[in-house]
Structure 1
Amino acid sequence: MSHAAFLARHARTIRSVAAGLTVVAAGLTLTACGDNDGTGAKSSGKADSSVTAPADQGGADAGARGESGTGGTESGGTGGNGTGGTGGAKDTAEQAGKASQQNGGAAQQNGGGAASDGEREIGTCDVNKAMVTVDSVKRPINHLLLKFTNRAGVDCEVPSFPILRFDDAQAATPAAGETTPQSVITLAPGESAYAGITTSRGDDPDAGGADMSQLGVSLEGLDAETTLDLPGGSVYVDNTAQVTYWQNSASDALTW
């Protein structure tokens, strides 16, 4: 074999070995890329799917339980892809409904209290919060008209009949029972009640009597009294004097 032929053959052998090494190297590179992610763990398509699926499922489960995907901390659905948030919204709606019911109950209670205030009992009138007058009349003779006007600013009742005392009389003037009204007289602010006073009969010489100058007026069951000057300076009053029950009009107070 000539020296030139030997060199040519040797060159072909080197190229063949180099080509083989290149193929082996390429194979090793492909294997490394397909089977190794640099940490020794497989990263093929199937492996990725089998690893990723449980992670997604875990997140969904965490969301269904209203838990976070970062360690189980309750958070209304951070790791649950919105599912836990829906549960939180439901809870909030339920709480809002309960609060509305409570507010409604409170409103009903407040309304009941207002109704109770509107049905408050009417009290007895006060002579100190009224205008009381006494006047003489032409007919019938020997009569006076007592007028009681409510100035209290609220409704009130004038009970039964006025308690009258002429001057320093020890006993109150008796009431005429036949004048009892069907119901107690209730006065709105500014309204008046009336009572007729018979001062004497004039036909009984033994009735005794005297001229009186003042009249004390109070209401049944109350101590407050107002004192009025009698018309004309004085009025003759004897033992037959009477007073009517309170009436709604002056005519009713004088015609009995």
Structure 2
Amino acid sequence: MSARTHRTRMLGAAAITVVTLTLAACSNGEGVRDEGASAGSTSTSSPTASGTPSPKADGGTSTGAGQVRPAGSGSKGSASEGQTGGAAGSSGTTGSSGSSGSTGTSGSSGSNDSASAHTSCSSTSTRMTATVVSRPLNHLLLTVTNTGSKNCDLTGYPAVRFDEAQSVPPAFEDSKPQAVVTLAPGESGYASVLLAAADGSGAGGFTAKSLTVHFGKGASAARPSLPAKGVYVDDSIGVSYWQSTMADALTW
């Protein structure tokens, strides 16, 4: 018998011995357990006390291989959206306070001022003075001051009469202002009177001792005082329209 044949027989006998021992162990209810496999199966399928699988330790839900999304993350998003919407709604309601701006319409009461028509200035609500000026020559300055409590208008030009003159002198049309002169209480308006030609070329001259000034047709008249010696007047006489400043009045 060769050595190779001898080894083969010995190996066969050993294999038979192992099988025999294995069968004997199985018949006794004992076997070999794979501790690694057993532990793995226990971790994946061990039941809870209620018989249902236990949840994941972190309470999350699987969103993909190896990824876990925290539980309730979706509900947090919806809650924040609800809070944002609520905040937006509350801020929107505060906008309604802007409606209080409608009270600004009460400012329309200011239209009462424009609605109230200005009255024409008259001798009862004004004070008038007549002053002879040195420049320009032969000029008389009329000053009207509003002594009333309301605005009044100086319209047109003054109609002046010296002594018992039958007519009133004409106005210098170029002196007509662009707007009516309105006097607030305490304010003054002005007009000038050219009494006589500066070069003495005028005719029909005389010395007047009194003056009557009408504010307009049918209006009451004022009678400002003249200097004691009177003023010399000839047919060159003329008047300016009412002006808002003394300088404008004395231009004519």
Instruction: Give the Cα separation in 2 of the matches to 1:223 and 1:205.
Output: 34
Q: Distance in 2 between matches of 1:108 and 1:134?
A: 48
> What does 1:112-131 correspond to in 2, within 5 Å?
114-119=109-114, 120-131=116-127
User: TM-score with structure 2 length normalisation?
Assistant: 0.55
Question: Percent identity of the aligned residues?
Answer: 38
Query: 2:176 is aligned with what amino acid?
Result: T
Question: Secondary structure of 1:148's match?
Answer: strand
- 2:119 is paired with a residue of what secondary structure? coil
Partner of 1:217: 213
| DSSP 3-state at the match of 2:129 | strand
Report the counterpart of residue 188 of structure 2 in structure 1: 192
Q: Distance in 2 between matches of 1:126 and 1:255?
A: 25
Question: CA shift at 1:192, angstroms?
Answer: 0.3
1:60-113 Cα offsets, whole Å, 9 max, x none, are: xxxxxxxxxxxxxxxxxxxxxxxxxxxxxxxxxxxxxxxxxxxxxxx999x598
Is it true that 1:229 corresponds to 2:216 in the alignment? no
3-state SS in 2 of match to 1:134: strand
In structure 2, the CA distance between the partners of 1:125 and 1:206, relative to structure 1 (3 Å rule), is closer
| Equivalent runs, 1:12-91 vs 2, <5 Å | none
TM-score relative to the length of structure 1: 0.54
Amino acid of the structure 2 residue aligned with 1:234:
G
Cα distance change, pair 141–232 in 1 and its aligned pair in 2 (3 A): farther
Whole-angstrom CA distance in 1 between matches of 2:218 and 2:109: 30
Please state how far the C-alpha of 1:161 moved relative to its aligned partner: 0.6
From the CA coordinates, give the structure whose radius of gyration is larger: 2
Code of the residue aligned with 2:242 in structure 1: it is W
In structure 2, distance between residues paired with 1:166 and 1:153: 31
Extract unaligned runs of 5+ from structure 1. Answer: 1-106
Report deviation, 1:226.
1.5
Distance 2:202 2:150 in 1: 46
Give ranges in structure 2 of 5+ residues lacking alignment: 1-102
Residue 241 of structure 2 corresponds to which residue in structure 1? 245
Measured against aligned partners, the alpha-carbon deviations of 1:195-253 in whole angstroms (never above 9, x if no partner) come to: 01100004354611100011101112333011122124301100110110011111111
Tell me which of 135, 154, 159 is aligned to 2:155: 159
Would you say the 8 A contact 2:122–2:221 is kept in 1? no
Q: Distance in 2 between matches of 1:139 and 1:115?
A: 44
* Structure with the largest fraction of helix: 1
2:208, 2:155 → 1: CA distance? 26
Q: Are the equivalent residues in 1 in contact too, given 2:202–2:236 (CA < 8 A)?
A: no
Residues of 2 paired with 1:132 and 1:222: CA distance? 18
Partner SS state of residue 223, structure 2: strand
Taking the aligned partners of 1:249 and 1:112, their CA distance within structure 2 comes to 33
Taking a change above 3 Å as real, the CA distance of residues 112 and 248 of structure 1, as seen in their structure-2 partners, is closer
Matches of 2:131 and 2:143 in 1, distance apart? 8
